[in-house]
Structure 1
């Protein structure tokens, strides 16, 4: 791959790339979201069927995200006016109002800084990328989907809740964890701690695998 075609990718647990971009709700910067979680997600194009289903799903879960101190922010390389027309079309045709802003990234500056442009998929459209950014502006998760398969908004919400709960309780989450499930206790870091683990009151399968209820 030549240098010109290399995709710039952000990295987990480092500051998310800063942006200052026009949206359907005025200019937005990453700094505007300080103190809140942010779900920044890109889509290939307005007025396309798969993207429409995704936006409807995000809109229907918007209040759930807000209840978790989380804002939604969409992005595509379409124009500001295309975004507005599409939002109005979704409201008219599907009865769903899009209440979160959408970045009009015509110069692809934000998309490129987040690695949303994947030359193997398209040089002129952002793939279905989703980024979860914490209240300190740190990138905590990235999820990429291909052009022809819609992402799961329910899974993005589940991931958000899992990360928030892990942060609050100093634990890790097992596969497909949902609220109410047991969480994983941090693995002992010394032989002495490993020997003592069985007597610490957790549900212990072996020294490296223990769970507890929240």
Structure 2
């Protein structure tokens, strides 16, 4: 099972460290990130949730709600939260600034295609991989990244991706490789030069290529 780009994200119900939720209601009109973890009290996951805790103001500025998932109980999540806060040097608290879903039966992990078949728990069960799902306000999946359980995520890249997704959702541009906010964007190939002149008053530059095809058009970030 799993979910593809452009699919409506399942409106699942779940128990979390911040109470019971129905996903679409919880998301509301915001963007959302759901990121999964192999298990509580594991080293790489602890670093990741610590990083996300420290970066929450950046996600909040972008109207992005964050929710984590791990195949352990609410009680374990609450105890683990203490370790996470201690790791990043914060006074222990019962709750992180985002909820953690309890998925003890792995039902949601299976539904969303999160399991890593090559990494097993001490009980012999497949571990939950490090999935990242970004969901738009329209409740559709805009991006997915699936890391193996042994590789920690780069949350700076996830923030950069959100900036690109939010920009390209409202402007007729694409972002080139290694793009960062404030850098030049690329005009979509289906836009004619005449349309581009009207849409991008700051102008655009066309790359001179051997093919003589004028498809590499750069414009300042709108």
Give your verdict on TM over 0.5: yes
1:37 to 28, 31, 35: 31
2:64 to 56, 67, 70: 70
> Per the alignment, do residues 203 and 47 of structure 1 end up closer, same or farther by CA in structure 2, a change over 3 Å counting?
same
What's the CA shift for 1:14? Answer: 1.3
Task: Give ranges in structure 2 of 5+ residues lacking alignment.
Answer: 208-212
Query: Which residue of 1 is the match for residue 215 of structure 2?
Result: 208
Task: Give ranges in structure 1 of 5+ residues lacking alignment.
Answer: 1-7
Query: Which residue of 2 is the match for residue 4 of structure 1?
Result: none
How many residues are treated as equivalent by the alignment? Answer: 203
What's the CA shift for 1:124? Answer: 3.6
> Per the alignment, do residues 198 and 119 of structure 1 end up closer, same or farther by CA in structure 2, a change over 3 Å counting?
closer
Query: Which residue of 1 is the match for residue 46 of structure 2?
Result: 52
What's the CA shift for 1:60? Answer: 0.7
State whether structure 2 residue 171 is matched by structure 1 residue 169: yes
User: In 2, Cα distance between the equivalents of 1:199 and 1:102?
Assistant: 47
Alignment RMSD: 1.9
Alignment of 1:136-151 (within 5 A): 136-151=138-153
Query: Which residue of 2 is the match for residue 128 of structure 1?
Result: 130
State whether structure 2 residue 189 is matched by structure 1 residue 187: yes
Q: Is the 8 A contact 2:50 2:85 kept in 1?
A: no
Q: Is the 8 A contact 1:24 1:103 kept in 2?
A: yes
* TM-score (normalizing by structure 1): 0.88
